[in-house]
Structure 1
Amino acid sequence: MTPDRCVRTGGPPVTKSTGAIRVDRTGALVRITIDRPEAGNALTLAMYRALADAVAEADADPGVRVVVLTGAGEDFCCGSDLDDLAADQETALGLRSPLVEFHKAVLRSDTVLVAAVDGAVVGSAATALLHFDLVYATRRSHLKYPFVAQGLVPDGAGTLLLPQRLGPQRAAQLLLLGERVSAAQAARLGLVTEVVEDREHLHTRVAEQLTTLLAAPAASLRATRALLRPADRDAVLQMAAEGATSARLFASVARDGRA
């Protein structure tokens, strides 16, 4: 996916890869690609750590105006690699979990965050998008929050942000039942900014919007983004509560052999 094509960003392109996370920097634009298509871009702890570092590094650079997150292959991201998380539960569910650090990085970023979504967006990927400013999706894309069926609770402050956006009953429908949400439904609910026909149209639409964003004054972009997302204290506390609850549930399953 090349959502920055035809966008004049200035400066030579620079690419850096950390495992299955690829970071491309061209002038004021940073594009982060989840590059594990053979596994539906499922995220391991190492990938969460690389994502957190990439977002934080971009945010710390005053020359970066926009970060775009996308996925290689047929799906944006099918959520966490549960086998990888189960293999290191202490790290996965600890207070400094790379998963939580990624969510905190996108929450705290003052850099404009744009998601270019094609295909499935599941679990932690779906809750992460709640912290993005603009989310563009293809018609075939869908969201799903399957945490309860997995014996866990949602992460990324999803239990706070979804009720705030949708109301408690609609949020309960998505989080308790884990129902699949089509791109069109997600747009109606305000979880997606805009739906386009296919990947080709996604490239074009994101490039158009990046042209507008990159032409705006950097200080105004950052200041407006910060004002749109006031104090993150409640969301961080909710993330901690979610992580502690999932850790307790994991321990219960390990001890009793059932969810």
Structure 2
Amino acid sequence: MGGEDSLFTGRPQPEGEITGRTLTYEVTGRIARITFNRPKQGNAITSDTPIELAAAVERADLDPRVHVIVLSGRGKGFCGGYDLSIFAENGFAPPEGAQPTEGTVLDPVVQARNHNPWGTWDPMVDYAMMSRFNRGFASLLYANKPTVAKVHGFAIAGGTDIALYADQIICADDARFGYPPTRTWGIPAAGMWAHRVGDQRAKRLLFTGDSLSGKQAQEWGLAIESAPADQLDERTEDLLQRISQVPINQLIMAKLALNSALLNQGVANSGMISTVFDGISRHTREGYAFQLRAATTGFRDAVRERDEPFGDWKRAQFDKPATES
């Protein structure tokens, strides 16, 4: 922490381990490790996710031991997007137990009422909800320290909103990236696709809802590196260790300088506009139809019916389908 003349000499170390509803946090050496921890649900997003993610990133950003922050997912994938068993199938029904968001714009009951096809939609209550999700995910971009997303398995829909805010993405060759909800019931609220892969490639993906493999993501410049799945941990650790050897001051200044160019591209404006259109997309005729189908037959059937006409159910569009069953 800087030697004998450090400003932090003699001061107690910040708490190094936290377990939340949706993630865990720990510090090992100079690396803060945030891990999504809902493996049975594919690390799907709940109303707790943006709050806990932002708090964990802030904790790492304030910790003088930490040089770099890595975000990953426990289980079969990074993040499968919003938990449609909550947000679509069960009308925003909250998990059991008291919720810290009760009585706020993030209250699932409030949002269920605001998604009633026979009620009156309040667009600003919707925006207040989604902008908070977006703000929590964007903590990865706005943190002073470097952030790395390690993606295995899948980063789909809202999972890409999170991953694309990280400074660097490193992924498994067979990982899957995409935003299928652009076909029905969603627009990427983060608005980061064009900033990460350019206008033409972003439109290619979002006009179709198609997905990329991890290898294709690296070729397109979305990920800085892809690796065979069994080498992802090792390659990620190599990157983290190299970053962590650089003094914090240098890392912060480099990130702020580089982010100045990115922010001048209009990242904040893209996020605001995309968040508005995401809300609208859930309240169109087809958006309500998707929600009602999910509530009637289950979200898996609704998603399957949406995606099967494209011939890519559970497959990255740019992978060769020879092994598809």
TM-score under structure 1 length normalisation: 0.84
Match of 1:74 among 50, 73, 76: 76
Q: How far off its partner does 1:136 sit?
A: 1.5
Amino acid at match of 1:248: I
Distance between the aligned counterparts of 1:184 and 1:255, measured in 2? 32
Q: How far off its partner does 1:96 sit?
A: 5.3
Structure 1 position 147 matched with structure 2 position 208: no
Q: How far off its partner does 1:202 sit?
A: 1.4
Closer/same/farther in 2, CA of residues 18 and 69 from structure 1, 3 Å limit: same
Largest Rg, 1 or 2: 2
Distance between the aligned counterparts of 1:95 and 1:235, measured in 2? 18
Distance between the aligned counterparts of 2:214 and 2:175, measured in 1? 5
Q: Which has the higher strand share?
A: 1
The 5 A counterparts of 1:66-105 are 66-86=68-88, 87=92, 88=108, 89=111, 93-95=126-128, 97=130, 98-105=132-139
Residue 112 of structure 1 aligns with which residue? 146
**Number of positions where the alignment pairs a residue of Structure 1 with one of Structure 2:** 245
Amino acid at match of 1:19: R
Encode CA deviations 1:96-132: one digit per residue, 9 max, x unaligned: 5441122331221121101111101101221332222
Distance between the aligned counterparts of 2:248 and 2:242, measured in 1? 12
Q: How far off its partner does 1:239 sit?
A: 1.5
Q: How far off its partner does 1:256 sit?
A: 6.2
Distance between the aligned counterparts of 2:126 and 2:24, measured in 1? 25
Structure 1 position 225 matched with structure 2 position 252: no
Encode CA deviations 1:174-223: one digit per residue, 9 max, x unaligned: 11211120111111100111111123x11211222222111111100111
SS at match of 2:26: strand
Encode CA deviations 1:78-109: one digit per residue, 9 max, x unaligned: 11113434513369833354411223312211
Aligned residues: percent identity?
26
Residue 251 of structure 1 aligns with which residue? 283
**Structure 1: 5+ residue runs without aligned partners?**
1-10
Residue 208 of structure 1 aligns with which residue? 238
Tell which deviates more after alignment, 121-130 or 244-253: 244-253
Encode CA deviations 1:120-164: one digit per residue, 9 max, x unaligned: 110122133222222221122111111312322112122xxx334
Structure 1 position 182 matched with structure 2 position 213: yes
Ranges of 4+ aligned residues in structure 1 off by more than 4 Å: 253-259
Residue 44 of structure 2 aligns with which residue? 42
Structure 1 position 26 matched with structure 2 position 28: yes
Distance between the aligned counterparts of 2:195 and 2:237, measured in 1? 30
